[in-house]
């Protein structure tokens, strides 16, 4: 059965849809049986396409995120997904408040920490940042998604 992975950030318009889009491509290219989705802890941007700056930066690198639409995290996601990767510690705290029991709580991991980034454990929020911040998030996300694919391919998760 397909492994089910959910990426979560605050608005679901910058960081987590980027992770979804990059991971979707890597999963396909590597022939992995993985279902990928993303969501936001907040409802501010539900139904919207990813932030124009995120879309533009990803397009520069050959990834088309324009068809993705934001949705809010739902407590049912704890049962629908095997692993939930949050972008920062605020997202982690928000999901811990919603988690019912150890089994649900243990599904949630900080994305960068889990994928072995030793210098940064939180994905910086680029929303109030400049172009360089979006590029930094892209590079961090690409590396983390590549590492996640390696973990899946080698059956370590």
Q: Which residues bind ligand 4NP (CB under 6 A)?
A: 9-15, 40, 44, 125, 127
Q: What is d(CA 73, CA 105) in angstroms, rounded to the nearest whole number? A: 14
What is d(CA 79, CA 120) in angstroms, rounded to the nearest whole number?
A: 29
Asked if residue 117 lies in contact with residue 144, where contact means CB atoms within 8 angstroms, the answer is yes
User: Residue 105, SS3?
Assistant: helix
Which CB atom, from 125 or from 152, has the smaller least distance to ligand 4NP? 125
Of 23 and 152, CB closest to ligand 4NP: 23
Q: Which of residues 38 and 152 has its CB atom nearest to ligand 4NP in the complex?
A: 38
Catalytic residue chosen out of the listed positions 51, 94, 125, 145: 125
Separation between Cα atoms, residue 147 and residue 140, nearest integer Å = 11
> Least distance (Å) from ligand 4NP to the CB of residue 101?
26
- Catalytic residue list contains 69: no
């Amino acid at each position: 059965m397909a492994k089910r992975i959910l990426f979560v950030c605050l608005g679901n318009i910058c960081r987590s849809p980027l992770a979804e889009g990059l991971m979707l491509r890597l999963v396909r290219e590597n022939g992995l049986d993985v279902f990928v989705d993303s969501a936001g802890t907040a409802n501010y941007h539900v139904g919207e396409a990813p932030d124009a700056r995120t879309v533009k930066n990803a397009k520069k690198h050959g990834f088309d995120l324009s068809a993705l639409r934001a949705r809010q995290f739902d407590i049912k996601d704890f049962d629908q997904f095997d692993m939930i990767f949050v972008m920062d510690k605020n997202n982690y705290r928000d999901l811990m408040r919603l988690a019912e029991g150890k089994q649900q709580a243990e599904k949630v991991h900080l994305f960068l920490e889990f994928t072995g980034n030793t210098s940064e454990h939180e994905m910086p929020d680029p929303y109030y940042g400049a172009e360089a911040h979006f590029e930094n998030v892209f590079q961090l996300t690409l590396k983390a998604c590549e590492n996640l694919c390696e973990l899946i391919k080698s059956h370590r998760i």
